[in-house]
Amino acid sequence: MGRRSTGNVPELVERAREGDARAVARLISLVEDASPLLREVMAGLAPYAGNAHVVGITGSPGVGKSTSTSALVTELRKAGQRVGVLAVDPSSPFSGGALLGDRVRMQDHALDRDVYIRSMASRGHLGGLSWSTPQALRVLDAAGCDVILVETVGVGQSEVEIAGMADTTLILLAPGMGDGIQAAKAGILEVGDVYVVNKADRDGADQVRRELRSMLALAERSGDDWRPPIVKTVAAKGEGLDEVVAEIGNHREWLASSGERDVRRLRRARDEVEAIAVTALRERWGDVHGRSELDELAGAVVAGDTDPYAAADRLLADIGEGLTAT
């Protein structure tokens, strides 16, 4: 307990960089709990981040995301890669914690010192991710992970948020889970870098692959754009995962040679800075005004005395005045 309560951030960062799993766990806990030490943690990690390749894994519930993630870890370890896994689970309505606990399903890697697996609760955050995922990624990155796998909740159409978080996005599908039209409706055909048809030993796998190929062919791409491959796997048997790892490597090389990696990471950092700034503004405004003024403006909109845009303008003006006064 004494180790857990320590506020010595530089020591935690140094231990995490040396591969101390307890220090990594503590840093991620500080992130999830929005600790007052969070700013110091991020400042301490900043010089050491930016080296890991982030792979997002998403798809509808039941396609085998957790099994595929575990199998991918096995393949990456064969290649000598140090691997981090962030498995974002639905939140318990009682504790707010991770409900499924993907670490239970990845026990094969529990004793491997070069694999770090963490289940994180989405805590009601939409988009299949946790609000603290970007900061947790930075912890694992600075801790020396070569590849970080991020497995989303698997909640359907909101999963596309993972594309803004990852360098390479894997979309998992499976026969019997709905046809390719459902995939198109979910918007995942717009964000995938590698498509994986899992459970390929079932009837209908070839049909899913054909439908995917047809719809991807309709997408408008320039000659320099990446052409997403479609790989068939049977993750439960470890089949096809070597090809998936190879395609991830190919995409990583393309990102570097095309300059797209820098574009994606700049966009990711910009979104993160914006989110932090907006949250800080909301909190500072709330400290000054509370919710009374917002409720008053909302009441005026309901009564028809003003419109939402005018009310928002008034709110922004008051925020500016409040910040100037403070």
Range scoring the smallest mean pLDDT among 84-88, 118-122, 173-177, 283-287 = 283-287
Each residue's pLDDT tens digit, 182-199: 555 555 667 889 999 999
pLDDT of 204 over the 70 cut: yes
Name the residue ranges covered by the structural domains of the chain.
Answer: 1-48, 49-257, 269-325
Range scoring the smallest mean pLDDT among 82-86, 99-103, 213-217, 283-287 = 99-103
Structure confidence at residue 91 (pLDDT): 43
User: Quick one: average pLDDT of 11-30?
Assistant: 92
In whole angstroms, how far apart are CA 102 and each of 26, 121, 237, 277? 19, 11, 19, 32
Structure confidence at residue 1 (pLDDT): 31
CA atoms within 13 A on the CB side of 245: 23
In whole angstroms, how far apart are CA 276 and each of 124, 131, 135? 18, 10, 11
Q: Fold for domain 49-257?
A: Rossmann fold (3.40.50)
Structure confidence at residue 293 (pLDDT): 77
**Alpha-helical regions (H) of the chain:** 9-17, 21-32, 38-45, 65-78, 133-142, 180-185, 205-218, 241-258, 260-289, 292-303, 308-325
Burial class (CB in 10 A: 0-12, 13-18, 19+), 248: buried
Each residue's pLDDT tens digit, 300-321: 999 999 999 999 898 888 777 7
Contact 89, 99 (CB under 8 A): yes
Structure confidence at residue 66 (pLDDT): 87
In the chain, % of residues over pLDDT 70: 76
Structure confidence at residue 96 (pLDDT): 41
Range scoring the smallest mean pLDDT among 2-11, 37-46, 97-106, 298-307 = 97-106
Structure confidence at residue 92 (pLDDT): 38
Q: Which residue's structure tokens are 């419109």?
A: 307
